[in-house]
Amino acid sequence: MSDSTRPEIIRYDPFAGPPRINGARRIGIRPGTELIHAMAGTGSRPITWTVEGLPATLAVDAAGIVRGHAPQTPGTHEMRVRASNTEGSTDAVVQLHVGSTLALTPPMGWNSWNVYADAVDAETILRSARAIVDTGMRDLGYQYVNIDDHWHAPERNPDGTPAADPRAFPDGIGALADQLHAAGLKLGIYSDAAEKTCGNCFGGLAHERIDAETYAAWGVDYLKYDYCHAPRDAATAIERYGAMGDALAHSGRSIVYSACEWGGRRPWTWAPEAGAALWRTTWDIFDTFGAGRLGVKGIARRNLGLGRHAGPGHWNDPDMLLVGNHGRGRATGTLRAPFSGNWRPKLWSFRGLTDVEAHTHVTLWAMMAAPLLASHDLSESDPYDLALLTNPEVVAIDQDPLGHQARVVEQSRHGWILEKRLAGGGVAVSLTNMGRRPRTLSITGERLGLRGDEEVFDAWTHEVQRSHPRITAHLPAHGSALLVIH
């Protein structure tokens, strides 16, 4: 699908050299609830781990997976983490915040929807989970494996508990969660704040308690709660999302809550209070760069205006990543009427993103502190697509503990220049050519508050340059540069 030169990112191999600690530096967990957390690290393999400062209720194995239960008392614990390989060792402090806030950095993982839509089963989920481990994505911090719509049996059980499709999930969701947890991964599930989901499976309305309890008993770690078949007004949405948020908070498990009402009722003003750690800000993304509100550009534009609502534990969600689908995703490759589901007439087909556009997609999502949820067939990732998802510097910008969403420094029809403040005083800057011809974009260091003698680090290529009075990037059509300045 590439009609343009591949940006030079593939030269960087995250799995060579001395160890590097990736992933969240701040982890939120509810008091007394189960913790399963795989420390994430790249560099040449194998990497061995030690963690000091763990509360007595937690233990770590040699693979760096921390397991156990959070202490009962709210508070912060500093875990002193060391990763070692044959080429050296490195240390980091990872904070464990025991309290009511989860997702202190944007969730990372994978979701079944973009690629598989309604064709989802246990085998597909397990294959994806294995691929997260085998490709090294887990070593960057990808940890949630989320089943989207269509996991459901035709009906709930007679006692009202939710039931999975017995053909697609013959051993049930709990058995699947156990297998994921054994690999240091987490399981996500999907429901809807109405009687039915977007795919017409049973929804969660009036079953919030029993659903949250069952999810907790299954070992579910993440819930995406959709809004098809629900009334349009905001008051009802606030009430319905609040009911599920409350049920999850009392479920006895730390379940990250993702609200998905597509931004129509300004969820950024009420979703945190409803208990949601993230909320969709836009309609579904489709596998195209332009196409008005449907593609990467339109979605990013809308999400960008909402930066002040983002921060640790509450994130704007501009939808999942398209990377790796190349127009073939069952949900994102075609537009059907209405937009969800696969049984409706096809209105439009998308060819997918070019390599340059996919590079820009990940650049913008990292700058916007967006959740990084891949959603393609992970067992067949192209090396270039995998490199887009596994660049430690880029992931670190997304996961920066400050939780700042980039602000717009300059935005015109041809170019966007964004700035994201980083913990420790640095800034990340992205320059994106939104035009259809190659173009040079530049910005003065002064506008970014720089002195002019700082080191400018290219997050994609890992090259270092000195900053000039102007920071300049020569960019192909739809191409981006992503720079870090300390």
Which residues are known to be catalytic? Answer: 226, 284
Q: Cβ closer to ligand GLA: 149 or 208?
A: 149
Of all residues in the shown chain, the one whose CB is closest to ligand GLA is 198
Binding mask 450-469 toward ligand GLA (x if CB under 6 A, else -) reads --------------------
**Is there a contact between 409 and 444 (Cβ–Cβ < 8 Å)?**
no
Residues 163-222 that bind ligand GLA (CB under 6 A): 198-199
Report the distance separating Cα 433 and Cα 33, nearest Å. Answer: 46
Exposed / middle / buried, residue 416 (Cβ in 10 Å: 0-12, 13-18, 19+):
buried
Q: How far is the CB of 146 from ligand GLA (least distance, A)?
A: 10
* Residue from the set 284, 385, 398, 400 that interacts with ligand GLA by CB under 6 A: 284
Those residues whose C-beta lies under 8 Å from the C-beta of residue 422, and which sit 6 or more positions away, are 397, 400, 402, 404, 428, 484
Q: How far is the CB of 129 from ligand GLA (least distance, A)?
A: 19
Dihedral of CA atoms 304, 308, 309, 310 in degrees, nearest 10, equals: 70
- SS3 state of residue 219: coil
Sign, CA torsion 294/299/300/302: positive
Question: What are the φ and ψ backbone dihedral angles of 255, each rounded to 5 degrees?
Answer: -110, 115
Q: How far is the CB of 112 from ligand GLA (least distance, A)?
A: 9
* Residue from the set 149, 287, 317, 400 that interacts with ligand GLA by CB under 6 A: 149
Question: Kindly report the CA angle at 201 between 352 and 282, in degrees rounded to 5?
Answer: 40
Enclosing H/E stretch for 356: helix 355-367
Q: Residues touching ligand GLA: how many (CB under 6 A)?
A: 9
Q: Cβ closer to ligand GLA: 251 or 340?
A: 340
Q: Of the candidates 49, 33, 353, which has an alpha carbon nearest to the alpha carbon of residue 220?
A: 33
Q: Of the candidates 429, 439, 443, which has an alpha carbon nearest to the alpha carbon of residue 474?
A: 439
Question: Kindly report the CA angle at 365 between 361 and 370, in degrees rounded to 5?
Answer: 150
Residues 27-66 that bind ligand GLA (CB under 6 A): none
Residues 223-282 that bind ligand GLA (CB under 6 A): 226, 260
Paired sense of beta strands 256-260 and 222-226, if any: parallel
Q: Cβ closer to ligand GLA: 221 or 284?
A: 284
Binding mask 382-421 toward ligand GLA (x if CB under 6 A, else -) reads ----------------------------------------
Q: How far is the CB of 337 from ligand GLA (least distance, A)?
A: 13
Q: Cβ closer to ligand GLA: 64 or 329?
A: 329
**Is there a contact between 126 and 177 (Cβ–Cβ < 8 Å)?**
no
Q: How far is the CB of 190 from ligand GLA (least distance, A)?
A: 6
Q: How far is the CB of 200 from ligand GLA (least distance, A)?
A: 9
Question: What are the φ and ψ backbone dihedral angles of 228, each rounded to 5 degrees?
Answer: -70, 155
* Residue from the set 49, 110, 113, 142 that interacts with ligand GLA by CB under 6 A: 113
Q: How far is the CB of 113 from ligand GLA (least distance, A)?
A: 5
H, E, C per residue of 80-145: EEEEEECCEEEEEEEEEEECCCCCCCCCEEEECHHHHCCCCCHHHHHHHHHHHHHCCHHHHCCCEE
* Residue from the set 340, 360, 381, 405 that interacts with ligand GLA by CB under 6 A: 340
Residues 79-98 that bind ligand GLA (CB under 6 A): none
Angle between the N-to-C axes of helices 355-367 and 296-304, in degrees from 0 to 180, rounded to the nearest 10: 10
Q: How far is the CB of 114 from ligand GLA (least distance, A)?
A: 8
* Residue from the set 148, 211, 221, 400 that interacts with ligand GLA by CB under 6 A: 148
Report the distance separating Cα 89 and Cα 96, nearest Å. Answer: 22
Binding site for ligand GLA (CB under 6 A): 113, 148-149, 198-199, 226, 260, 284, 340
